[in-house]
Amino acid sequence: MGDVRRRVPRTDVLLVEPRLAAAVAVVGRERVKQAIGRAQQRARRGEIDPGAVVEAAVAELPAGPRVVLNATGVVVHTNLGRAPLSAAAVEAVVAAAGYTDVEFDLVTGGRARRGRDAVEALAAAVPAAGAVHVVNNGAAALVLAATVLASGGEIVVSRGELVEIGDGFRLPDLLVSTGARLREVGTTNRTTLADYAAAVGAGTGFVLKVHPSNFVVSGFTGQVSVRELASLGVPVVVDIGSGLLAPDALLPDEPDAASVLAAGATLVTASGDKLLGGPQAGLLLGAVEVVQRLRRHPLARALRVDKLTLAALAATVGAPVTPVSAALHADVGVLRRRSQGLCAGLVAAGRPAEVVASVAVVGGGGAPGVRLESWAVSVPEQVAGPLRTGSPPVVGRVSRGRLLVDLRCVPVEADRVVLDAVLRAWPVG
Ligand SMILES: *Cc1c(COP(=O)(O)O)cnc(C)c1O
């Protein structure tokens, strides 16, 4: 029996095992240590072989989607689940998993407004918003706005802003599906205030301004500001896309909710899991009377978010340093040193890697023209496949016949995990 106990791997050894170390970066050290503790107990009791402790600990961790290390340099990567939640948001989700006061007032014992923590956090972060409502995603926010404010009427929108958002889904189709008609104005590259003014009339539900968050038009261009649109005398709805609540100096062209409302927009719609760095959600911020109508419409019930999302959203807005903001604002010098460390580890093990300057991007989440200066470790392209299918999977970016491993979106505590993963995926010789 004593012999079995001695053969049970120690916690510090298990914490650096690749799969468990990768899990630390995602679900947190405490959660992984609990899983390890339970697996060690089972081994000490003789229920499992000491050699099976790693497997047992992994099995104790949440099943489902596989934890992936994002070494692409694309911060908001739609195919990799967009924004990774902050530790505070993960904790909030775990706490909300049981019975909660999501719609209950503990003081009076009566019903309370659903998700008031999230709503209050958003209202505090954007004082210019009279009221806030949260739905399932950015597309749902637009559908609700179009249904309530323009069903049977017209949405006036520039031809330069009829956007396909991805996977074949197009905003114009989405808007028309609500029963609203689109009144397209202007041209692809230029639209003027006079174009809008000529189209606005008794049948106008609202003027819509959509942020082109996944493309740029350059050259002979012209568009109308929110402030000018607000002078037209009809509601102005602005789909800012990314969910920035306030300006970010790094992204000067990215619209934010506070500025757009201050410029006179009636309503702003946005996603929760792009630059805001929170859970998938759709945010609607704006005039009290309009938001009340949105909240009371029958469709609002169908687009309602669950308590886990509300908990994560409240935590994200309350502590706005998220993995997304950290990756976005990562210090280039630190990224270079981390890349050199990874490269040195590879070279020392006989793999001829090199450190190269690279460019990271925000991704599907916004700021399409912004190039983030970055560094990456360049390895042969053939490593990409084994690295992706290894454990944990590491996804890099293939460029000009090389695989670039960019550490910008990799938690610093997982650098060692990336090194071990590349070594396994790249046999010597
Ligand atoms: C991403 C985006 C949407 C869709 O939001 P989802 O949260 O993905 O539903 C709509 N409009 C714009 C401008 C976007 O960038």
The CA distances from residue 146 to 34, 59, 134, 252, in Å, are 48, 45, 15, 29
Residue 1: pLDDT over 80 = no
Kindly state the average pLDDT of the residues 93-97. Answer: 94
Claim to verify: residue 204 and residue 105 sit in the same structural domain: yes
CATH number at residue 144: 3.40.640.10
Say if residue 425 is exposed, middle or buried (CB neighbours under 10 Å; 0-12, 13-18, 19+). buried
Helices 415-425, 332-348: inter-axial angle, 10-degree rounding:
40
Identify whether residues 194 and 302 lie together within a single domain. Answer: yes
Please state the pTM of the whole predicted model.
0.86
Q: What is the mean pLDDT of residues 153-160?
A: 97
CA of 81 to the centre of ligand 1 (A): 14
Same domain, 299 and 241: yes
236 and 299 part of one domain: yes
Task: Write the secondary structure of 260-295 as one string of H (helix), E (strand) and C (coil).
Answer: HHHCCCCEEEEECCCCCCCCCCEEEEECHHHHHHHH
> Which residue type occupies 211?
H
Between the alpha carbon of residue 258 and those of residues 265, 389, 422, the distances in Å are 10, 43, 43
Does 412 share its domain with 303? no
Locate the DSSP E strands across 79-216. Answer: 131-135, 154-158, 164-166, 169-170, 181-185, 204-210
Domain shared by 330 and 381, yes or no: yes
Closest CA to 144 of 263, 274, 283: 283
341 DSSP 8-state letter: H
Q: Which helix (H) or strand (E) segment is 144 a member of?
A: helix 138-150
One-letter amino acid for residue 254 of the chain: E
Bridge partner residues of 185 (DSSP):
158
Residue 376: helix, strand or coil by DSSP?
A: strand
Q: Quick one: which H or E segment has residue 94?
A: helix 87-96
CA–centroid distance, residue 381 to ligand 1 (Å): 32
Question: Is there a single domain that holds both residue 201 and residue 55?
Answer: no
Choose one of 287, 320, 353: the last residue of a domain.
320
Which of 158, 161, 163, 165 has the most ligand 1 atoms within 8 A of CB, as the residue to mutate?
165
Looking at ligand 1, which residue's alpha carbon is closest to its atom 15?
241
State whether 340 and 291 are in the same domain: no
Percent of the chain with pLDDT over 90: 84
Mutation test residue for ligand 1: of 76, 175, 211, 239, the one with most atoms within 8 Å of CB: 239
Specify whether 26 is located in the same domain as 164.
no
Which of 269, 301, 306, 299 lies closest to 144 in space, CA to CA? Answer: 299
Looking at the fold, whether 298 and 224 belong to one and the same domain comes out as yes
- Tens digit of each residue's pLDDT (9 = 90 or more) over 223-234: 999 999 999 999
pLDDT exceeds 90 at position 94: yes
Ligand 1 pocket member 61 (CB < 6 A) = no
Question: Token match 């998700």: residue?
Answer: 115
Q: Using the mean position of ligand 1's atoms as its centre, give its distance from the Cα of residue 119 in Å.
A: 20
378 CB burial (10 A radius; 0-12, 13-18, 19+): buried
**Which residue has a Cα nearest atom 14 of ligand 1?**
241
Do both 232 and 218 map to the same domain?
A: yes
DSSP state of 107: T
- Give the total number of structural domains in the chain: 3
Which CATH number belongs to the domain containing residue 417 in this structure? Answer: 3.90.1150.180
Q: Per residue in 35-80, pLDDT tens?
A: 999 999 999 999 899 999 998 998 888 767 778 999 999 999 999 9
Position 27 confidence tier, pLDDT thresholds 50, 70, 90 = confident
Q: Tell me which residue range forms the domain holding 27.
A: 2-60
pLDDT 10s digits, 309-343 = 999 999 999 998 999 999 999 999 999 999 999 99
Number of helices (H) and strands (E), helices first, in the chain? 19, 16
Task: Looking at the structure, tell me whether residues 187 and 49 fall in a common domain.
Answer: no
Task: Determine the residue of 135, 215, 271 to mutate for testing ligand 1's pocket, defined as the one with the most ligand atoms within 8 A of the Cβ atom.
Answer: 271
DSSP H or E stretch at residue 355: strand 354-363
pLDDT, tens only, 169-226: 999 999 999 999 999 999 999 999 999 999 999 999 999 999 988 888 889 999 999 9
